[in-house]
Homo-oligomer: A and B are copies of this chain.
Amino acid sequence: MAHRQDQQRRASIHDVASRAGVSAATVSKVMAGVTTVKPENAQRVFDAVEQLGYRIDPLASDMRRAKRRIIGAIMPEFESEFFGQMVTQLESLAEQRGYTLVAASSRESEAREKEILARMHDWRVAGVVLAPVRNEHGPAADFMKANGMTGVLIDRVLSDDVFDTVSADSAAASAEVARELIAKGHRHILLVGLGEQAATMRARLDGFRTTALKLAPDVRIDVVLAEADVEPLRAQLREYFAKGERPTAVYSLFLKGTLVALSEFRRRGWHCPNDISLVGFDDAEWMQVTWPAIAAVVQPVRQIAAEAMDVLFRRIEGEGGPPMARLEPCKVLMRESVGSPGSGPHSGGGNRQ
Contacts and interface: CB of A to CB of B under 8 A. Distances in A.
A105 to B, nearest CB: 5
Given A7-B148, A66-B9, A79-B81, A59 B107 contact: no
Interface string A60-90: 1011001010000000011111011101100
A263 interface: yes
Interface residues of A, number: 55
B286 A266 contact: no
Majority secondary structure, A binding face: mixed
A260 to B, nearest CB: 8
Interface string A126-141: 0000000000000000
A88 B119 CA distance: 17
A87 B78 contact: yes
A66 B263 CA distance: 52
A107 B271 CA distance: 37
Interface string A182-205: 000000000000000000000000
Given A55-B121, A80-B84, A259-B286, 6 more contacts: A9-B66, A10-B124, A55-B122, A56-B122, A59-B124, A84-B84
List 5 A-B pairs, minimum CB-CB distance, nearest first. A7-B148, A78-B84, A79-B84, A263-B289, A262-B289
